[in-house]
Amino acid sequence: MARQGIMISLFVIVLIVSSSSAAEILADEPTYNVLDFGAVGDGNTNDTQAFVNAWSVICLNSTVPSTLYIPTSKTFLLDRIVFQGPCNNVIHVKVDGNLKRTNEIWKENFNSWLLFIQISGLRIYGSGELDGQGTNWWSCKEQNQCSEDAPDSLQMLSCTDAQIWGLRSINSTMMHISVAKSERVDIAGITIVTPDNSPNTDGIHVQESRHVSIRDSIIGTGDDCVSLSEGAEDISISNVTCGPGHGISIGSLGKNGSRATASNIYVSNCTLTQTTNGVRIKTWQGASGFARNISFVNITMNDVRYPIIIDQYYCPHSVCDAQASAVEVSDVKYIGVTGSSSAEVAVALNCSQSVPCSGIVMDTVNLWPANEGEELRSHCIGANGSARNQVTPAVPCLTQ
């Protein structure tokens, strides 16, 4: 309990002083430099074993909060690494150098390149870059020679009280950052750069996790900017700039008839530029569970194809039969959603007839066509709720 109290007050101080001075605050900690464990950092030497050795020492031997330091102006070539916890004390991983994945298509079905698992109080931060070297893997997938699954660059699994701050991530083979089965995670100041045609390269993905904030980040990628999947609860996304990519998604929920829930989600102050979707909730048919208490506040759309979507018929690959059950969508608010849409149907509430969407609130939604001379419209089935102040294009199924 005492440690948690210290953690929280440190966190508050860092927020007030701004995260750039985090380095000074932590400077007094014992520091374990990967170079002292044999890492070379010339971009060609396989430094995996040196990192594994450094981790096992810092994780098992630290008696006080300690820093694992990855120095600047170097590039470390790394194969898959599992940073296994629990650790003896709080670990801060300061990534100022660059980490590059060995450019191979793995035969084994690993979910991640850099996996941090079962760690409490972990902070990964710095000005370094993660390079997933995904190009070959993407083309392998596109030629159907590789399965859909490729490793995520940075995965946090079963962690609590964690932070990921300031890193840059490029060309991940699949998702850039994924958080699963974790609680109290703060992700901030991240920059993600990936081509818009790279498959499944979600920027930040969260599932089966609670109390997660994602803020002050810039994400350009080939799939969802941020995706929140089953078990996402109490998630805040603010000041995130998206594009290119598929926008901010909740879902897809309920694949293959499963039960899925997502709730208490607050998305604010985000800007989407030339993304295929804006803010989207997508669920599969034949599933159960709920997506509720979701707010989108102060969202700017620049030339976004489908700014507002609820799609309870999500089915990207094959033909899906109509089914009676669905993930129930309720209490979804769109407040201050403004900007341009490049497709005609700017607002699509495509809800299940058997399990309708209820409590949809739109307040000050103002969308206009990105291309002059066009006109926008909405499409709405199986949804109810209310429209307040200006809502353009009008959404007839919501009562004024």
Ligand X SMILES: *[C@@H]1O[C@H](CO)[C@@H](O)[C@H](O)[C@H]1NC(C)=O
* Near ligand X by CB under 6 A: residue from 211, 333, 379, 388: 379
* Near ligand X by CB under 6 A: residue from 216, 303, 344, 363: 216
Count residues near ligand X (CB under 6 A): 40
216 has catalytic annotation: no
* Near ligand X by CB under 6 A: residue from 170, 225, 346, 360: 170
Catalytic residue from among 202, 223, 311, 331: 223
Chain positions 316 to 375 lying near ligand X, rule: CB under 6 A, are 336, 348, 350, 356, 358
Give dist(CA 315, CA 296) in Å, integer.
24
User: Is 61 a residue that touches ligand X (CB under 6 A)?
Assistant: yes
Smallest distance from ligand X to CB 71, Å: 19
User: What contacts 290, CB < 8 A, 6 or more positions away?
Assistant: 261, 262, 263, 327, 328, 329, 330
User: Is 46 a residue that touches ligand X (CB under 6 A)?
Assistant: yes
Give dist(CA 239, CA 228) in Å, integer.
16
User: Is 53 a residue that touches ligand X (CB under 6 A)?
Assistant: no
- Would you say 79 or 208 has its CB closer to ligand X? 79
Using DSSP's 3-state secondary structure scheme, residue 316 falls into: coil
223 has catalytic annotation: yes
User: What contacts 6, CB < 8 A, 6 or more positions away?
Assistant: none
- Using only C-alpha atoms, the chain has a radius of gyration, in whole angstroms, of 22
Binding string to ligand X for residues 114 to 143, with x set by CB under 6 A, is what?
Answer: -----------------x---x--------
Smallest distance from ligand X to CB 308, Å: 9
User: What contacts 48, CB < 8 A, 6 or more positions away?
Assistant: 78, 79, 80, 81
Give dist(CA 53, CA 55) in Å, integer.
5
Please answer whether residues 92 and 67 qualify as being in contact, where contact means their C-beta atoms are separated by less than 8 angstroms.
yes
* Near ligand X by CB under 6 A: residue from 213, 288, 298, 325: 298
Instruction: Give which of 369, 368, 363, 361 is closest to 385, Cα–Cα.
Output: 361
Using DSSP's 3-state secondary structure scheme, residue 275 falls into: coil
User: Could you tell me the sign of the dihedral formed by the alpha carbons of 299, 282, 376, 335, in that order?
Assistant: negative
User: Is 293 a residue that touches ligand X (CB under 6 A)?
Assistant: yes
86 cis-preceded (ω within 30 degrees of 0): yes
Instruction: Give which of 169, 4, 15 is closest to 99, Cα–Cα.
Output: 169
- Would you say 121 or 222 has its CB closer to ligand X? 222
- The pairing of strands 209-220 and 191-193 is parallel
User: Is 102 a residue that touches ligand X (CB under 6 A)?
Assistant: yes
User: Is 19 a residue that touches ligand X (CB under 6 A)?
Assistant: no
Catalytic residue from among 176, 202, 246, 331: 246
Smallest distance from ligand X to CB 379, Å: 5
DSSP at 138: H
Smallest distance from ligand X to CB 78, Å: 8
Smallest distance from ligand X to CB 332, Å: 11
The rounded Cα 272 to chain-centroid distance in angstroms is 15
* Near ligand X by CB under 6 A: residue from 19, 33, 72, 238: 238
Q: What is the largest CA-CA distance in the chain?
A: 67
User: Is 268 a residue that touches ligand X (CB under 6 A)?
Assistant: yes
List contacts with ligand X (CB under 6 A). 46, 48-49, 57, 60-61, 79, 102, 104, 131, 135, 170-171, 195, 216-218, 234, 238-239, 241, 256-257, 264, 266, 268-269, 293, 297-298, 306, 309, 311, 336, 348, 350, 356, 358, 379, 384
The catalytic residues are: 223, 246
